Amino acid sequence: MRSIKNIIAALLFSIIIANVANAQIVVKVKPQKPDIVNLRPVQIDKGMIWIDGNWVVKNNRYVWANGYWVKANPALIRVNGYWKHVHGGWIWVEGHWKKQHAPYSKHRINKMH
């Protein structure tokens, strides 16, 4: 019985921590990109992709972070971050990686019609 209580307490604690970690800062006016942003440096290695600069939260406010190169994963595509209008203002939705879906083959498309 005691272990069940410990498991439930641990789950509740995890949910609370996850909600705090995912908290968004709402701003009334979207920040503008800085006038001076870093230029994309030369690709340092084949198989790398450029991640555009984006907004990050530091000290409870949004600040601009410059872009950077990362190793590409052919199974994933990059979805850039964007500003989303919410009640009371705007929040920044982080960019993320998404599974690459295989394109429809010609044979499969013809079967569908």
Q: For residue range 54-68, what is the model confidence (pLDDT) as tens digits?
A: 999 999 999 999 999
More confident residue, 43 or 86: 86
Tokens read off for 45: 């290695």
Q: Is the pTM of this model over 0.75?
A: no
Bridge partners, residue 61, by sequence: 58
**Residue 6 above 70 pLDDT?**
no
What is the pLDDT, as a whole number, of residue 80? Answer: 92
